[in-house]
């Protein structure tokens, strides 16, 4: 997959992997998986909660360059926004990314009713995952995909969400044994 990327992107991703623990970035294979999935599903309107320094955003946005889509990403830690934007610029994806600074719940609560996403990636405050899901649900289109990281590494914190989505007849959900555990759901109706 990475063979399709330009040299600067390849280099930037490798450099970011040196500080992966410090910035709580997703594993490389999770990035590759999200990229493949977005390209396969031809997703165009993606929301990410938890930008950090932009590592996962680069994998997502590179796929969106192929599908003609755009990414909105949310981060409340102001010091992470600048490096994220710099990394997006280096990798040639800044033009399709809107970075919003603020608390994910507040931003979701104020989303206009007609804002719709076809792919959502949740990777922010693990204890708030269920609340994010409840607020995102009206904005995810039928057939849309919801991916949530850390469902195995932070099992207890994410449990209320996992229990809720497993019981929700509107969603088909599977937990993938990727490094931190990735919940992957499709909205059926
Ligand atoms: C696990 S890291 C995200 C890593 C990023 N997705 C990546 O793989 O490159 C979680 C990020 O979410 C941010 N965050 C935590 N709680 C948040 C909240 N309530 N609203 C917005 N961002 C939040 C943290 O500051 C942190 O940068």
Residues 6+ apart with CB under 8 A from 96: 61, 64, 65, 69, 70, 71
Give the Å distance between the CA of 184 and the centre of ligand 1. Answer: 19
What confidence tens digit (pLDDT) does each residue in 32-42 have?
A: 999 999 999 99
**Which residue has a Cα nearest atom 1 of ligand 1?**
24
Q: How far, in Å, from the CA of 65 to the mean position of ligand 1?
A: 23
- Tell me the CA–centroid distance for residue 187 and ligand 1, in Å: 24
43 touches 64 (CB < 8 A): yes
Instruction: Give ligand 1 pocket residues (Cβ under 6 A).
Output: 24-26, 50, 52, 55-56, 74-77, 80, 103-104, 123-125, 128
- Residue of the CA atom closest to atom 7 of ligand 1: 25
Ligand 1 atom at shortest distance from the alpha carbon of 30 = 8
- pTM of the model as a whole: 0.98
pLDDT digits (tens, 9 = 90+) for 124-137: 999 999 999 999 99
CATH number, domain 2-187, options 3.40.50.150, 1.10.357.10, 1.20.1740.10, 3.30.470.10? 3.40.50.150
Tell me whether strands 140-149 and 182-187 are parallel, antiparallel or unpaired. Answer: antiparallel
Mean pLDDT of the chain: 97
More confident residue, 3 or 101: 101
pLDDT attached to residue 4: 80
pLDDT at 1 over 60: no
Instruction: Categorize the per-residue pLDDT at 3 as very low, low, confident or very high, splitting at 50, 70 and 90.
Output: low
Q: Report how far apart, in Å, the C-alpha atoms of 168 and of each of 89, 133, 151, 173, 177 are.
A: 39, 11, 17, 9, 21
CA of 143 to the centre of ligand 1 (A): 26
Q: What distance in Å separates the CA atoms of residue 129 and residue 131, rounded to the nearest whole number?
A: 5
């Amino acid at each position: 997959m990475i063979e399709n990327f330009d040299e600067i992107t390849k280099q930037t991703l490798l450099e970011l992997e040196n500080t992966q623990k410090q910035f709580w970035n997703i594993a490389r294979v999770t990035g590759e998986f999200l990229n493949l999935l977005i390209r396969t599903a031809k997703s165009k309107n993606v929301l990410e909660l938890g930008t950090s320094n932009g590592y996962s955003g680069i994998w997502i946005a590179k796929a969106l360059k192929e599908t003609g889509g755009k990414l909105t990403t949310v981060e409340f830690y102001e010091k992470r926004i600048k490096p994220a934007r710099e990394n997006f610029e280096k990798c040639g994806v800044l033009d399709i990314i809107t970075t919003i600074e603020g608390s994910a719940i507040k931003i979701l609560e104020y989303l206009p009713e007609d804002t719709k996403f076809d792919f959502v990636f949740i990777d922010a405050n693990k204890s708030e995952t269920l609340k994010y899901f409840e607020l995102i649900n009206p904005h995810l289109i039928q057939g849309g995909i919801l991916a949530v990281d850390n469902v195995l590494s932070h099992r207890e914190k994410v449990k209320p969400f996992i229990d809720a989505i497993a019981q929700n007849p509107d969603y088909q959900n599977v937990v993938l044994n990727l490094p931190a555990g990735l919940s992957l759901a499709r909205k059926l109706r």
